[in-house]
Amino acid sequence: MNLTEQDINELRKTPGDLIRLMKQARADALAENARRRALVLRYPDLAAKLTEPPIRHTTPEHWTGYVPPASDAPSLGGAEPINHSPARKALVALVAEAEQRSATARKGNAA
């Protein structure tokens, strides 16, 4: 969700709007984390990769489904530094592989 300062100022005019938006954004993020986690853990070979470098969770179940954002918070100059974390790259690849497998399985069941 990308809000400008003007958006936030407008939301502050109506009591509760900003708080409701923040709560909804958090609920959406938690639901997306749960979806990703369940999807990856469905495939034992992908789940096992959660314990390998560069991710290195103690067990696959320790992963919450969180994938760090592609860019960091905007700097004062306005440019958004890109997140080059090897762990992020590995998590994105795992989720993409799990989504591809799931889509392929759905197509196979539909036929």
Query: What does the alpha-carbon distance between residue 97 and residue 43 come to, in Å, rounded to a whole number?
Result: 10
> pTM for this one?
0.80
pLDDT at 41: 98
What per-residue confidence (pLDDT) applies to 53? 97
* Spatial contact of 43 and 98, defined as CB atoms under 8 Å apart: yes
pLDDT tens per residue, the chain (111 residues)?
Answer: 667 788 778 888 887 888 888 899 899 999 999 999 999 999 999 999 999 999 999 999 999 999 998 886 665 556 677 888 999 999 999 999 999 999 999 888 876
